[in-house]
Each structure stands twice: as C-alpha cells, then as structure tokens.
Structure 1
Amino acid sequence: MLRTVRIMNASIRGKPIKLALKIPFYYFLVILLSVAFSYVVFNQISTNSAQNKINEASLQTLTSIQTNVEFMVGNVNNYSKMIFSDENLQNLLRQGNVYANLQTQSKVSLYLYNLMQAVPIIDSVYIFDNSGNLFSVGTEQSPTFTRANVQDAQWYSEAVAEQGKYILKLNGSGAFSEHADQNFVSFIRLIRDLDDTSPLGVLVINIKGEAFVKAYSELPNQNALAFAIMDEHNQMIAANATEEVPFALFEQALASEDQNRKPTLLQTTAGFFPLKSGSQSYTASVLSGGSYSWKFVSITPHNAIRTVNKSLVLLALALLIINGAVFFVTSFMISRSIIQPIHRLLRSMTKAKSGSFQKVPATRNSYEFQQLFIGYNNMIEQIDQLLKRIIEEQNTIRKAELNTLQAQIKPHFLYNTLDSITSLALSGLNDQVCDLLEALGGYYRASVSKGRDIITVGEEVEMVRNYLKIQKARYRDIFEVEYDVDESCCPYSIPKLVLQPLVENSLYHGIRSKGTKGTIRIRAHRSGGMLTISVADDGLGMAEEEIARIIASERNGQVQSFGLWGTLERLRIFYDDRSHFKIDSEPGKGTAITLFIPVGEEA
C-alpha cells in the first residue's frame, strides 16, 4: 500500500516512475478495474440470461395455454357441426320457423340438452331461424338474448360474411344479458342447408368462462404465474393474478391512455415489453395470432429475476476477487524477470549515445528478450550500412537533379536557335523570326515554370511543341511530328522535363542518325489507374544490349548525351518506385519509350 502511495505521489510531481514499481501498480489498477468491470458485465449478462430464460418459460406457458384454448374451441367447433347436422334441426329450419313443428322442436331440445350434459363447458345454445325466431336451451343462469331481432346484433353481419366459418365474441358483444360474476364466450356461426348450402339460420353456443380457466389450471406451477387471456379487442376473458402481479396490472397494460405499450401489445405476434407500476418493474410476455386473434399475456416481476440471479453473481464476484489477488502477487515475480534484462539493454544504449556501439550478450531465459537483444545487435551492425546507402542515394538524387539542370540550360541549343533567328532576320523573314522567338520564349518559360518541379501534362506537351517548333525551323525536311494526346490527361501533374529529353533523343539519336526523314509520335492517355505517355520514332533504333549499355554508362557518369537514365531515375525517385517504363526498340525500325505514371499522385 505504501508503494502505491509513493507511485501516486511521484506521478503527481511529474517524476518518472521506475518500472519495478510501475508494473505492480498498474497490475493492481488493471485487476481492480477488471474485477469491477467483469462484475458489472457478468451481472448484466447473468441478468439478461435469467430474463431470457424466464421469458422463454413464460412464452412456452402461453403457447401451452393457447394450444389448450385452441383445442377446446376446436372441440366446440365439432359439437357445432354435430348440432347443425342434426336431421330434425335441418327439417325444422327448412320450414322457416323453429316453432312450426313443436314435436320436432322437442326432439331438437332433447338432443341439445343431452349434448350439454355430456359437454359441461357449454353454458347455453341459441338457434335463430331466417325469420328471426329464437330457440334456446341452457341452464337457469343462462344469459338472455336482449335484441329484438338477431340482425340487430353487432356480430350478425360478420357471421353472415364468414359463410359458415365460426367467430368468437366475448359476452356476445352485448347481445346477451350479463352473466353472474363470470365471462362467457359466444361461439357463432351460420347454419347452412346440408343439401344446397343455403343459409337456414344462426347458431350461438355460449362457452362458460370457467372453461378457459381449465386451459391453464392443469399446467405445472400455474399458481406461480400471472397471465391473462384477452380477445381481439383486448377485453379480459380470463386471468390468473398473484400477490406480486395483481389483476389491476393487466388492466394497466391494456389501458387506452398508455400509448407507449399498447401499440406493442396490439402489433406483436410473440415478444416482450417492459411494464412499470410504482417502483416495481415488470416484463410482459405476449403471444397473439391464431384463427381468432386472441392474445395471451404473462407478467413477471423483476425481483423474481434478481432472486434467481443473486447467488450466481456473488459466486462470480468471489472468484474474481481471489483470481485478482493471485495475479497481483505474481506481478512482482513477473516484473523482476522483465526488469533485469531491460537494465542491461539500457546500459548499452547509454553508451551508444557517445558513439560506442557495443553488442549486448543475448539472454537465454526468455525467447522474447533473446530476440530483442539479437535485433538490437543487428541494428548496430546495420547502422553503418544504412549510412552508406543514404549517402549513395543522396548522390543519385543529386546526379538526377544535375541532369535535369543540364537539360534545362543547354547553352548550345540556345546559341543554335539564336543563330537561326539571326539568319531569318537577315533574310527578311520577320514573321518566322516572331514565331521562332515566341516558341523559344514559351519553351524557356515552361522550362523554368516559376521554380516549380511539378507541372501539368498539358504544360509539358506545350513545352515539347515549342521545342520541336524551334527544331523544325533548323531542320526543315528531317522530321514530322504527330500528337495523340487525350485532353482528359492534360490536368494531371508530372515532374518537369520528362518528355523533352525523350523527344530530343528521338530527333538526334534516332532520326538524324538514320539520315532519312522520320516521324516522331507523342501519345498520352489514361489506362486504369495509370497515366501512359509514350514517345516513338521510326529512326535508327537500337538493340537491347545497346540500350542496357547506354543506361549503365549514364549511371556511371560516362555518357552525357542521352539523358535517358536521369529521366527514368527522376521518375523512380519522385514516385517512390510506383512508376515504371518500357522500351521497345529494333535496329532500323525505330524506338518507343512508354512511361507509366500513377494517376492523381504528385511527386
């Protein structure tokens, strides 16, 4: 602890801290933060895991309840088919009046009564003929149909539109009187003639609310779960509330003014959403869908999740603290094995400041330190070689710059051009004198280019045009020039005086040496990500051995007339080996030099 205080005091005063103290101190901080962070993360992960397990269990329970309800409704559907398939009922409804034949009505009543005795979930059965007459069988507490005519019921149009498919309505959607202290569900469908499928009337089977309680009463641990069954209008059909989740909480989940949660409940097919009541938080699970769009909702309090999660989190925290203590003790042992080799290396580096480069014997107790000392010793050996290579590269750059300077000045070219201008002036050819002076000025203006080393392709081509215009005045019938320059290439930047030395070589060493009239072709276009510039002639040409000899001689400073190596070397240095070139030449057929320069990259 005292060591930690000393480290903190040294940090405050801005003094450097020894590694022997810093490593254990940072180990302590890292372990402390790691334990705290791991506890928070693990607690969150564990909570989420417990939440997911409870959610999955709730969803499985809701799925079981939904299955039981669908099975029960399916049975009622089968009973309804048995009812409207009864021959006596069919004959009675075909007459258009359920009271037309009392004897047949009596048989139907007996049949329905026996069915209700066998199926206790059915509270009452109502049969309406096409004339609106009502015939019913039920218990003494059965609800009473309160409408003057069956067509006045809210569900009548829907039942007719379904053409024989059943619909479910809680408490008959108000068409029946309220039942004593419990809900009931009205199973409604159209009765159709078995012979010609024409509508004969409407069948209503009221299912007892307690039947839906049985859908979950036989589930394991059902008393510990709080869930509810609701119809498509979010009206409560049945609910199983607990002490922690009162019945009112389901009403809160369905409250119309709760705009944040109700849309989730209405739209979700199967999922979860948070619920809060006072200081208590809950998670509501919802399962909806099916043929009648009912919803099955379960609500779980968060304290149940924390109870499941608490013991596991405390165990994880205890393990983290024990591991942290072990790591902190071992940090001192680790620091000693690291610091001693570093001290040896530091002593050697201190001597290196004064120019004494001494190798450090490689340690064998650690592979990493062994490789570090080997690398350090190799570095010392390579320093001298690196210095020599740097000097050589500097000489190369200076030589390339010298070649560029020589290509810029060329006094004999200026003298020869001035002689040509003098001859033209003495001959009275003033227009040609003006053109030649303008070309000469444009050439040297572009060559100087305000001290810039980088110019555009358009400026370089224009300088070559002026150069060849001057040479054309001197050598009238020796050469012709063809330009094939893509205008889109003109804005790109390149090093200055790249084309002019190549054009000069084509004129002097290619065409003039051949002794016959020739053509110089200058092309520039873009291909992929490279700018392609070529200078070709149909002059004397060279063999591959001669090209290699010229480049080697220029590199060694033995030949100064071509300037080919200097131009190519400048491009290599300017673009850091990203540019390249190609020389195609054949004796007697000419030479083509193609430069490939990265597009959009300035030197």
Structure 2
Amino acid sequence: MKYRSYFKSISIKNKIFATMIILVVISITVIAFFANNISQKAIIEKAKNNSLRELVLINNNIETLITNVEDYSKMLATDYRLQEVLYTDMSVEKPEGGLENLIMRKKLSEVLSNFVEPNTKVKAASVLSSRIQWADVGYADNEYAARLFGTEPVAMKLENNNKPIWTGLVPFKFRYDSTESNVFAVSKAVVHKEFGKTIGMVALYVKESVIAAIYENSLNHQGGEFYILDEKHSIISSRNKSLLYHDFTDMTAISLPNLGERETSFILGKGDDELLVSTQHFEPLSWTIISVIPLDAITVENKEITKLIIRIGIWCLIFAMGISFFLSRSITKPLFILASTMRKIRNGQMNVRSSYKSMNEIGHLSDGFNSLMDRIEALVAKNAEEERTKSEIEFKLLQSQVKPHFLYNTVETIISLIKLNMKTEAIAAAKYMANFYNISLSRGNDVISIREEMKLTESYLEIQKLRYVEYMDYSMDIDEDIMCYATPKLMLQPIVENAIYHGLKWKKEKGYLQIVGFMQNGQIIIEVHDNGVGMDKQQMEQLLEPAVEDKRKVSFGARSVNSRIKMLYGDLYGLDVESVSGSYTKVTIRLPIKEL
C-alpha cells in the first residue's frame, strides 16, 4: 500500500520517464543476458569442434610420423647390405670376424646413416646381431639398448613377428649427452630374404620432443595444454616434461571418463576453474591424445562481446533517457498548462482559459474545457443576476411589508395617545413617523449614509418605545468617524425589529436594546445587543440559513439583510449571530468602508 500510494503521488511526467527507463533497462538486460548465453554457448561449441579438429590433425600427424618411422625400420631391416653383414656375422666362427670388424662396421654406418638425423626425425639407430652384439649410428648407447631390449637370442625374441614393435616412453642415453633423454623406440626383426631366417634386429629411437613438436604449435588458447597418455593413463608426452611418467589424474586433478571412445569433449569444474577437455584415441599404439583448455581462455571473446553489449546498452540507455524525457515533456506540458489554468480558476479567476491549441487528444480536451468554462461562467453570471434580482425582490418585499405595517401601527399608536390626552407624545410619534418615511423613501436610493440609517432606526425605536414603554428601552453609541460612510437602506431596522418582537417582548421584565457602531481592522462594525430570551443553536442557524419550509419573518428579514450585504460587498461582509438561550442575543453587522 505504501508503494502504491507513493506511485500515485508521482507526477505523470516522472511516471512516463521512469516507465520508459525501466522498460529500456529490462529490454537491454534481457537481450544482453540471452545474447551472452547464446554467444557463450556458440563459442564453447565452436571451441569443442576446433579442439576435436586439432586432435584429429595431431592424431593424423602422429600417425604419419609413426608410419614413417616404421617404414624406416622396415626399409632398414630389408636392406641387402645390412642383411649381408648380419648373415656374415652369424656365419663366422670368431666374434672378431663379425660386427667387430672395422670393414663390417663401416658398411653398417653407411647403411644406418641414411635413416637417422638429419635425414629423418630418428635420433639414432642400433643393430643387434644374432650373437647379441650391438652396432649403432647416431651415438646410441649400446648399454642402454641392451638394457632396453634384453640379452635373449634374437631368433627367440622376434620369432614369428615381422611387425615393428614400439616401446613406451623410456629414458635413454646417447653418447656425448650429459643427461638422459625421453625416447620412444621401435624394433624390427631382420629376416634374411633368401633363407627366411631371423639374423638380427634393428632399433630406431625417436625423441619425445619430436612428437611434442607436432602439437606445441597448435595451442590456440592461452593456458591450453596437450597431453598424450598410454593405455595405463601415464603421461608420455607433454610440454611440461616434469609430468612425464606420472599418472594423468594425479598430476592434473582431471578425472577422465571411459577413454575407449574414439573422441569425446566435455566440461569439468565450476566457476573460474571450468575446463574444456577433449580426447582423441590413437588406435595404432593405444594412446590417448588430450586437449585441456581453461574455459576463461575460450570465452575471452564472449567477454569482449559482453563489454561491447554493455557499452551499446549504456548508449542506448542514454539515448532512451533523452527520448523519454522529451516524450514525457511533450505529453505532460499541455497537461501542465491545463492544470495551471484549473488552479487559477479554482482561485477565483473565472475568466482564465487554456492557451494550448492542437489537433491531438489533449488539444480536444483543452478546447472542451474552455467551452465548459464558458458555459459555467455564463451560468454563474446568470445565477448571480438571478440572485441579485431575487435579493432586490426580497428587499422590496421587506420594504413593502415594513412601510404599511409600520404606518398602520404608528397611526394606531398616535390615535391611542390622542385618546389618552397625550398630545405631546402623539405629536412626537407623528414627527418620528414622518422622519422614518422621509429617510426610507430617500428619493428612491437603496444606499444611504450610516448617519441617515441611524436616524431612521432611532425614529423606529422611539415610536416602538412609545408603544412598548413598559418592556423595552434602548441606547445608541455610534462613532462619529463612521457616520459618513455608505450602507444599504433599511439594513439595521429588520435586525432591531427581530430583537424587539422575538427577544425583548417575551422577556418577563423590562429589556434593554443597545446599538454600538465603530471601525475595526478596516471594517465598519455595528452590533445590536439585546438581553431578551435569546436563541438556541437551531434558531441561530435558521436566522441566516432558513430551511425551505421555514417561512417565519424572524429569519426572512435577517436573511434578506445578510444576502443583500454579501451581494453588494462580498462574502467577507454580512451578519454574525451570537446568542445564549434565556440570556442574550448579539447580531454583528460587518460593512466595508465605502464612501457614499
């Protein structure tokens, strides 16, 4: 409820502006969210495909290298000069007549040199005779070769096996090297072409770095790594040589699924540690080629896209703010003009009209409002004229009631005084009556001076005092300063008459009527105070605002005077009534300071 009331209190301009901004922010956020997710998925999927393609390419290159090395071993094993040397070595009776012979070794060197560096990627080659004698080219250490291939007779070791045989990754030492090297070795039995008898063995050595060179240039993502595992999941090739011979899971904390599949690609880890892992099975040697790429390195492009979206979103937001500001302003400006016009009219400026002109909906609303105000102003003017006419009629009616009634009562009083032989009082009553009618007629003027109004009222009171001498008396205390100012004619007489007939007349003992006039706060104040029977709250309300069914004269005269003063001078002026039942009544008349 609190937020609803707060929303209702916001101006239309701010509502439009805020709504536009919220819609733009939500739209940009939703677009950015989906664009980021879609682009990230697309980039990851693309990276998976690229990684698998790279593994396939590496697989093919390794297969090509392996095939070439095997072909070299086959070519070497079938070379007729090598077979001649090995066959001769097997035929001679003394060892020194075999591979130890300088001529024989020279022939072997000539044959082997064609299959090792720099002509091929083979680091070195060794030849084992049937007598378990080693000869080499490329500085292969014969002690390491013997340790690698053993000392069993060759015929038994390689019997019925004409295919090249690969070892796993092994440490091997070459002559003149200070440290061991990591190599793969391939061996091939030498079978005599004519006799079909195994007469020796050849071994070729390929460094692990030669295989690693195949994939080292394929690292497209920063932080990415390639690994080659044997069938026991030991690392046999990696850029980081310290990982060789160790279990892959132990070294990388990456758990691999079933590696029997041809190729797989999956994501491991959470948050910033997510990795894209791709595998490719190398069938010839039961190896597994693995690519490991941090997901952050893959999605770096997506981050750039996200930054671009954010920048574009900020510019769109700024642009939308400008558009929404001008749009809300263009919509609300005419409403503000119309609202300002309404405030002026509410403050009493009924002749003000809306200045906004347009063919849109607000323009039609403005025209309709102006037309409505024209009609209201016309109706108000008509109503005011009708009220003025009604007030005039009521005032004339009051006069018509006062004059005949007062004349009749006064004449009756004069006759009674004459009968009682009170000629002096009769003459005074006649003079007061003449004075009353002289002023009340006042050549047809409805506005007279306060002095004349007081004389008229005094004449009325003197006559009433002659009639009701036993229950009333009065006094008048009017400041001379206000005597010259204007007042509606017969303004005071109806109030005095009400005080006499409805207040003092019903009092058991003699009552008193007091009239006071003075100037206060820029107004003329005339107070009529009587100590008669007073009025209750309902009677006071009826005195100035009678009910429809109330036709009593007590309210008619006072209401007529009050309405006439307000009609002539405004709502700041008129009558105020203060009374306590059984105690007193005070009627205060407020008039403006008007020159006659």
Indicate the TM-score class for this superposition, using the shorter chain for normalisation: 0.3 to 0.5
Higher gyration radius (CA): 2
TM-score under structure 1 length normalisation: 0.42
